[in-house]
Structure 1
Amino acid sequence: MNQQPDRNDARVTPSTPAQPSKPQKQNQPNKDSDNLVNKIQQMGQTNIPQVEQSNIHCLTIIGQIEGHVQLPPNNKTTKYEHMIPQLVAIEQNPKIEGVLVILNTVGGDVEAGLAIAEMIASLSKPSVCLVLGGGHSIGVPIAVAGDYSFIAETATMTIHPVRLTGLVIGVPQSFEYMDRMQDRVISFVLRHSNIEEEKFKDLMLSKGNLTRDIGTNVVGDDAVEYGLINQVGGLGMAMKKLNELIESNKPKEEQDYVQ
């Protein structure tokens, strides 16, 4: 009698599916080298110093201050629609305790420059302005808008009357409008610096100092002597002063705790 093999005893070895071979890497670019190239192209250096959890925000006013009309793309500009949201964010952020404003500007739109200056002056947090290279034209009100101001020894500030570009209608109202705009600039500078009104107007309307123009080019020490800027100094002195203002701005209980 033929015996049937028990199905339960039958052992079936499952066939393992063939593992797909991993595709070989084909000359993939190195991310580290790409990042290195990007840093060199953007910053001109391989390692960029990182500041973690800084309580100071650095605000830069460079190139030409752009107003309501967009400047050509080859112009280096500071756009006031970028600056105003930054200043609002600085005021709202509790981690930011002070603002360092660095200027190297040729000036630009009067209303945009005054708007930035008013925003800096109205901050509840300590602010220090530092003029490097130049703080010309409408950059002057911005340079004096902080709680304290510095100017580099070789930096300059050009003080001149308000100018209008484009079509100007030759009627008395046009000149009255320019005069009122100029008074706004003068009033702001006088309120936020120690310069006397007569001296500032003399510098603004001086003849012979600028080639084919009216005004005065003021260098570092002269700006301090006239009372326009508080002190001649650089980055280190500006940071030290800002830290002092931050400490003095803290509540007395917190100062005692730190000490």
Structure 2
Amino acid sequence: MSEEKEKNMEKNESPDLIKELGLLANGTTFQSDYQYINIIGSIEGHTILPSDNKATKYEHLIPQLVAVQENPDIKGLLLILNTVGGDVEAGLALAELIASISKPTVTLVIGGGHSIGIPLAVSADYSFVAQTATMTMHPIRTSGTLITADATFEYMRRTQERVVDFIVEHSHATKDDVESKMNQTGNMSNDVGTVLFGPDAVEMGLIDEIGGLSNALEKLKELVNRK
């Protein structure tokens, strides 16, 4: 393949990658030692969401996370979140992958990091949240047919514990505080849970620091240099 034809293919590939995955093609002039990944809208898992939903497909993120670990040219990962939550198992699976990456990782919550987005937000080595961002903590939900059997409720209880334990393990928040805010009844008018603004999330130890893009990048570079 000629060099000119290869460049034309890369040029055509770049807009598609940005549109579908929020990524820049390898052939673009932009070069960085760091990988940047977005989690936007709903986290789509085993069930396909309606076409009018803005969604991030977890099967698209898994190979990107594997590439962060395997590619020697990538020194660290910045994960940017603005998500309403979504599939619990998919979100928790992604959070476990991020937490297991051996290279430095930083998360930045902008807009919102709700529901299962919270384990994703705390999964990195260091976390930031924008001053005006919000994070909603609430018990897990289920959709579809619900069998009212003891085994069903026990499964939901244990799934809830998985989420809580992950949050506690990867942040400075206490288990009692997390569970209390998840089950609070006076904070939300038509739901159970708590809406945390950026400073609230930092105060309870859920997120490390208030900050924006420049702060997150500076911290990531600091972690890479320290390592």
Query: Which range, TM-score by smaller chain?
Result: 0.7 to 0.9
How high is the sequence identity, in percent, across the aligned residues?
A: 55
Counterpart check, 1:63 vs 2:37: no
The amino acid across from 1:100 in the alignment is L
2:99 to 121, 125, 133: 121
TM superposition shift of 1:53: 2.7
**Alpha-carbon distance in 2 for matches of 1:89, 1:98:** 11
Residue among 160, 185, 189 paired with 1:182: 160
Residue 61 of structure 2 aligns with an amino acid whose one-letter code is M
Q: 1:130 to 1:58 in 2, by over 3 A?
A: same
Corresponding position: 1:158 with 2:136: yes
2:30 to 52, 62, 68: 52
Q: How does 1:190-229 map to 2 (within 5 A)?
A: 190-229=168-207
Larger radius of gyration: 1
Q: Quote the residue 2:125 is aligned against.
A: 147
Residues in 1 aligned to 2:110 and 2:182: alpha-carbon distance in whole angstroms: 21
Q: For residue 67 of structure 2, what is the aligned residue in structure 1?
A: 89
Indicate the SS of the match to 2:189: coil
Question: What CA distance in whole angstroms lies between the structure 2 residues aligned with 1:203 and 1:161?
Answer: 9
SS in structure 2 at match of 1:229: coil
2:213 to 207, 211, 235: 235
Name the aligned partner's letter for residue 140 of structure 1: I
Aligned residues between the structures: 205
Residue 169 (structure 1) aligns with: 147
TM-score (norm 2): 0.87
Deviation at 1:210, TM superposition (A): 1.2
Measure how far apart 1:51 and its partner are: 5.7
- SS, match of residue 164 in structure 1: coil
Counterpart amino acid of residue 157 in structure 1: M
TM-score normalised per structure 1 = 0.77
1:126 and 1:168 map into 2 onto residues whose CA distance is: 41
Task: Quote the offset at 1:172 in angstroms.
Answer: 0.9
Mapped partners of 2:118, 2:225: distance in 1 = 27
**Deviations 1:58-97, CA, capped at 9 Å, x for gaps:** 0100000001010111111010110101111111100000
Counterpart position of 1:107: 85
Of the candidates 114, 118, 126, which is equivalent to residue 136 of structure 1?
114
CA–CA distance in structure 2, aligned partners of residues 103 and 89 of structure 1: 19
**For 1:87 and 1:161, how far apart are their aligned partners in 2?**
27
For 1:172-199, what per-residue CA distance to the aligned partner results, in whole angstroms no more than 9, with x for missing partners? 1111000000000001000000001111
Q: Partners of 1:88 and 1:182 in 2: how far apart?
A: 27
1:150-173 superposed Cα distances (whole Å, 9 cap, x missing partner): 000000000000100010001111
> C-alpha root-mean-square deviation of aligned residues, in Å?
1.6
User: In the TM superposition, what is the alpha-carbon distance from 1:115 to its structure 2 partner?
Assistant: 0.6
Gaps of 5+ in 2: 1-11, 20-27
Moved over 2 A (4+): 50-53
Greater share of helix residues, 1 or 2? 2
What displacement does 1:52 show? 2.9
Distance 2:29 2:86 in 1: 31
Amino acid at match of 1:79: K
Structure 1 SS opposite 2:225: helix
Task: Pick 1 or 2: higher relative contact order, CA cutoff 8 A, min separation 6.
Answer: 2
Amino acid at match of 2:218: K
